Structure 1
Amino acid sequence: MERLSMQELLRWKNSRHRKPLILKGVRQVGKTWLLKEFARRYYENIAYFNFDEHPEYKQFFENTKDVERILQNLMMASGQTIKPNKPEATLIIFDEIQECPNALNTLKYFCENTPEYHVACAGSLLGIALSKPASFPVGKVAFLEIGPMTFTEFLMANGDGNLAAYLNSIDSIEAIPDAFFNPLYEKLKMYFVTGGMPESVRSWTEDRDVELMQHVLSNILGAYERDFAKHPDPKDFPKISLIWKSIPSQLARENKKFIYKVVKEGARAREYEDALQWLCDAGLTYKIYRSSAPGLPISAYDDLSAFKLYMVDVGLLRRLSLLAPSAFGEGNRLFVEFKGALSENYVLQALRNQFEAMPRYWAMDNPRYEVDFLIQRENDILPVEVKSESNVESKSLKKFKEKYGDKVKLRVRFSLNNLRLDDDLLNIPLFLADYADKLIGMALQQLEN
């Protein structure tokens, strides 16, 4: 399988200012595979140390910060080789680094004293946050976060490199020919079923085994739920589980604002805030705040009392929702089920990969208007709607434009319709969500001309 993050790793390898790298991401998102594959392609040698499989390695970091001595001990204990006269030939991988806080701390000395070594680490977002090394090497490490596979990566894994190449080649706002539009629409339904977790994608793309894919997604959900027990306060464990299981119900409503009583009758925010924050810190959920106005920076206009909660992966949301893969063959059902929640979750995943600030949403009460997402692109705040049905009338986008006028340079709608620009309304087919930033740039340039 091909991951686009490989190019980021290559830039890190070739950088004159390279620091030890920490690859972050939720469990089972493919961090270890990516680092090993990167080493296989671009290095002569790999030295791999897993602190979970080999807890005995931890002792080498306890009594010394001398990098050469630590590496000597690791090589003798593991039988692996790191050539001191040719350090750039080896990628040193510390896996499950959250299990060894002293190793995290030692990255500072790799950076300061032995920058010639290429060191990359993998760890869960949550684990790194919880490990609390005595002195985190602030400013001495680089970070790269990887998420689930994107739709483009799914296409490449599925043997549809021609479709992925076509998406990448689009350089103007004009209708996608049916020869590409129709298969892309069908492949997107597949992606809604598998999601982007690498093992789930592989079970479909290599074996075409729906039962295996379902089993894989169930196992991943089960592993996450076992992780809930790692919360430092045991009384929060059942609360985390209740919030997690309530997400499909939260998103199945017309108004997707998170409501605590959907979690449990009589539940109050103050009782569940810590549990909810744990899920967000672990990277398993995305909290999208309501915004009061399209101002800069986008975070300055957050209404902290109102938010929507989405999941890290659309396939996991489908599995947790118990929506059977057979919906794949039922027209638009995957797109419209749960009031379009799968489509919204998918679009959010794509937007989050492309824009630095987490998207927000905008809503007005009496009468009710809601714009699914607001994105900050450079110094512009743009409203985004996700439409999963054939009716794409955008009343909320229209209202948003009426209310904020010239502040709104462009309105964006994701739907099952073709690519086009109508005045200041850009319609992007759902399968082009990975290219939103590029398409928005082209549309803004077209409007300026």
Structure 2
Amino acid sequence: MQRSIMEKLIDWKNSPYRKPLILKGVRQVGKTWILKEFGRLYYQNVAYFNFDENEEFKQFFDTTKNVSRILQNLTMASGQSIKPEKTLIIFDEIQDCPQVINSLKYFCENTPQYHICCAGSLLGIALAKPASFPVGKVNFLQIDPMTFDEFLLANSDNNLASYLSSINSIEPIPDAFFNPLVEKLKMYFVTGGMPESVLMWTQARNRELMQETLSAILEAYERDFAKHPSVSQYPKISMIWKSLPSQLARENKKFLYKVVKNGARAREYEDALQWLVDARLVHKVYRCNKLGLPMAAYDDLSAFKLYCVDVGLLRCLSQLSPSAFGEGNRLFSEFKGALTENFVLQSLISQFEVVPRYWSQLNPPHEVDFLIQRENDIFPIEVKSDTNIKSASLKKIKELFPDQIKLRIRFSLENLKLDNDLLNIPLFLADHTDRLIGIALEHIGKIATRENPNNKQST
């Protein structure tokens, strides 16, 4: 499988400022595979150490902070060869190994010639603990579920993936590409982006195995919930997790604790919710009171929406059968378009550094699904699950904040087009949002310059 994160790993390898790397990501998202593949392709050899399979390796880090001694002990115990610059050293399953994490400081300071990558499940939880941590001595990368573009490549639809990457103007997409891409996107909603699930479909073409894979991943997550240090939090984490489909099935998708359990209060469940956020199993999208920078300064901390880490896992968690793939556009519109919103959010998070927000007002009621920050501009985004593209909220937010909004964005099953300042992006192009915004802004800027050549507009 081709993963775009490989390019970032290569940049890390070649950087003169390289530090030990911590690769974060949820269970079974492909952390170990991508690191081993990276080592196979770009190093002479790989030295792999799994601290879950070989707990005795932890002792080498407990007894000394001398990096040379640690590596000597690891080499002798495992029989693996370690050469500076030539070997990729992989420390796997380090989430329960604080001494291993702390040792990265000394690898960084004393032996920068060794290339070290670390991975582990629930690392977001481990790194959030108030333990000794090598601040400023490590690099971080985040690996998320496979994108739709990566799914196309895994499915041998290289021509479709190449076409999407080649789009350099805002004009309608021919039916010869548009219709197949819609069908492929439906399948992606079924499989999601977890690599094993994608493999079961793209290689084995086995829908039952694909469904079993997703169910097994959900079961593994349930077992992880029990790893919370407070036993009392386990059922709360599980209840929040299982409430996701119900939360997203409502017209107003604002997270409500009473949907988790009647009479539930925020203070009783906030620790459990934060555990899921730190584990990156859910994405927390805050309501933004106004359009200003930085967006975090205008967060309404009492109002937020929760989305699942992967659209395929959300479908499976919702017990929506894969057979919905063959029922027109049902997958896009099922339970108030929740799968579609979840898919778009996944795409946005991987492209923009600032986590998206959403905007709403009560009187009269209006809500814009997402706000994204691109450089120093904020763009409102509306997600439509089919071809019904009417949106009073996009019009309203433009009326309220005319000077802050250069471009409004709508995702739908309509074709690619730009109507004045409204950019319609077909759902299957969500992975290219950042690039399409740039193209649209350049086009708007050229029109403004032609209309008023004495007042050139910067885009």
Distance in 1, Cα, partners of 2:315 & 2:131? 40
Secondary structure class of the residue paired with 1:23? strand
Report the alpha carbon displacement of residue 365 of structure 1 after superposing the two structures with TM: 1.0
Q: Does 1:432 align with 2:429?
A: yes
Q: Does 1:345 align with 2:342?
A: yes
1:24-70 Cα deviation digits (max 9, x unpaired)? 01111000000000011111111000000000000001111111111
Q: Does 1:176 align with 2:176?
A: no
Q: Is the Cα contact below 8 Å between 1:99 and 1:127 reproduced in 2?
A: no
Q: Is the Cα contact below 8 Å between 1:102 and 1:133 reproduced in 2?
A: no
Secondary structure class of the residue paired with 2:226? helix
Task: Give the residue type in structure 1 aligned to 2:232.
Answer: K
Q: Is the Cα contact below 8 Å between 1:105 and 1:134 reproduced in 2?
A: no
Alignment match, 1:312: 309
1:99-130 Cα deviation digits (max 9, x unpaired)? 32111111111111110111111122446526
Q: Is the Cα contact below 8 Å between 2:50 and 2:93 reproduced in 1?
A: yes
Q: Is the Cα contact below 8 Å between 2:354 and 2:373 reproduced in 1?
A: yes
Report the alpha carbon displacement of residue 132 of structure 1 after superposing the two structures with TM: 4.4
Distance in 2, Cα, partners of 1:373 & 1:130? 28
Task: Give the residue type in structure 2 aligned to 1:64.
Answer: T
Alignment match, 1:30: 30
1:85-104 alignment to 2 at 5 Å? 87-104=84-101
Q: Is the Cα contact below 8 Å between 1:43 and 1:91 reproduced in 2?
A: yes
Q: Is the Cα contact below 8 Å between 2:98 and 2:132 reproduced in 1?
A: no
Q: Is the Cα contact below 8 Å between 2:125 and 2:278 reproduced in 1?
A: no
Q: Is the Cα contact below 8 Å between 1:126 and 1:283 reproduced in 2?
A: no
Alignment match, 2:72: 72
Distance in 2, Cα, partners of 1:120 & 1:262? 41
Alignment match, 1:12: 12
Q: Is the Cα contact below 8 Å between 2:2 and 2:153 reproduced in 1?
A: yes
Task: Give the residue type in structure 2 aligned to 1:412.
Answer: I
Secondary structure class of the residue paired with 2:403? helix
Alignment match, 1:54: 54
Question: Kindly tell me: are residues 180 and 321 of structure 1, through their superposed partners in 2, closer, same or farther at Cα, counting changes over 3 Å?
Answer: same
Distance in 2, Cα, partners of 1:401 & 1:294? 11
Alignment match, 2:291: 294
Alignment match, 2:457: none
Report the alpha carbon displacement of residue 367 of structure 1 after superposing the two structures with TM: 2.2
- Return the match for 2:384 from 387, 399, 409: 387
Question: Kindly tell me: are residues 125 and 257 of structure 1, through their superposed partners in 2, closer, same or farther at Cα, counting changes over 3 Å?
Answer: same
- TM-score, L = length of structure 1: 0.98
Task: Give the residue type in structure 2 aligned to 1:151.
Answer: F
Question: Kindly tell me: are residues 52 and 69 of structure 1, through their superposed partners in 2, closer, same or farther at Cα, counting changes over 3 Å?
Answer: same
1:134-213 alignment to 2 at 5 Å? 134-213=131-210
Task: Give the residue type in structure 1 aligned to 2:57.
Answer: Y
Distance in 1, Cα, partners of 2:77 & 2:128? 24
Q: Is the Cα contact below 8 Å between 1:261 and 1:268 reproduced in 2?
A: yes
Report the alpha carbon displacement of residue 448 of structure 1 after superposing the two structures with TM: 1.1
Secondary structure class of the residue paired with 1:172? coil
Q: Does 1:321 align with 2:318?
A: yes
Q: Does 1:332 align with 2:304?
A: no
Q: Is the Cα contact below 8 Å between 1:105 and 1:133 reproduced in 2?
A: no
Distance in 1, Cα, partners of 2:236 & 2:131? 29
Q: Is the Cα contact below 8 Å between 2:24 and 2:123 reproduced in 1?
A: no
Q: Does 1:398 align with 2:395?
A: yes
Secondary structure class of the residue paired with 2:418? strand
Q: Is the Cα contact below 8 Å between 1:97 and 1:128 reproduced in 2?
A: no
Q: Does 1:248 align with 2:245?
A: yes
Report the alpha carbon displacement of residue 131 of structure 1 after superposing the two structures with TM: 8.1
Distance in 2, Cα, partners of 1:130 & 1:372? 31
Distance in 2, Cα, partners of 1:112 & 1:15? 16
- TM-score, L = length of structure 2: 0.96
1:341-362 Cα deviation digits (max 9, x unpaired)? 0000000000000111110001
Secondary structure class of the residue paired with 2:134? coil
Distance in 1, Cα, partners of 2:210 & 2:439? 38
Q: Does 1:269 align with 2:266?
A: yes
Question: Kindly tell me: are residues 127 and 58 of structure 1, through their superposed partners in 2, closer, same or farther at Cα, counting changes over 3 Å?
Answer: farther
Q: Which structure 2 residue ranges, 5 or more long, are not aligned?
A: 447-459
Distance in 1, Cα, partners of 2:131 & 2:358? 38
Task: Give the residue type in structure 1 aligned to 2:205.
Answer: R
Distance in 1, Cα, partners of 2:131 & 2:267? 30
Distance in 1, Cα, partners of 2:212 & 2:9? 31
Q: Is the Cα contact below 8 Å between 2:95 and 2:120 reproduced in 1?
A: yes
Distance in 1, Cα, partners of 2:211 & 2:329? 21
Report the alpha carbon displacement of residue 179 of structure 1 after superposing the two structures with TM: 1.1
Report the alpha carbon displacement of residue 15 of structure 1 after superposing the two structures with TM: 0.7
Distance in 2, Cα, partners of 1:313 & 1:364? 28
Amino-acid identity (%): 74
Distance in 2, Cα, partners of 1:314 & 1:127? 21
Secondary structure class of the residue paired with 2:47? strand
1:315-359 Cα deviation digits (max 9, x unpaired)? 000000000011101111000001000000000000000111110
Q: Is the Cα contact below 8 Å between 2:24 and 2:124 reproduced in 1?
A: no
CA RMSD of aligned residues (A): 1.1
Secondary structure class of the residue paired with 2:401? helix
1:382-434 Cα deviation digits (max 9, x unpaired)? 10000012210111100111111121110000000111100000000000000
Tell me how many residue pairs correspond in the alignment.
446
Distance in 1, Cα, partners of 2:179 & 2:122? 38
Distance in 1, Cα, partners of 2:38 & 2:21? 13
Distance in 2, Cα, partners of 1:73 & 1:132? 28
Secondary structure class of the residue paired with 2:187? helix
Task: Give the residue type in structure 1 aligned to 2:44.
Answer: E
Q: Does 1:355 align with 2:355?
A: no
Task: Give the residue type in structure 2 aligned to 1:278.
Answer: W
Question: Kindly tell me: are residues 190 and 172 of structure 1, through their superposed partners in 2, closer, same or farther at Cα, counting changes over 3 Å?
Answer: same
Secondary structure class of the residue paired with 2:262? coil
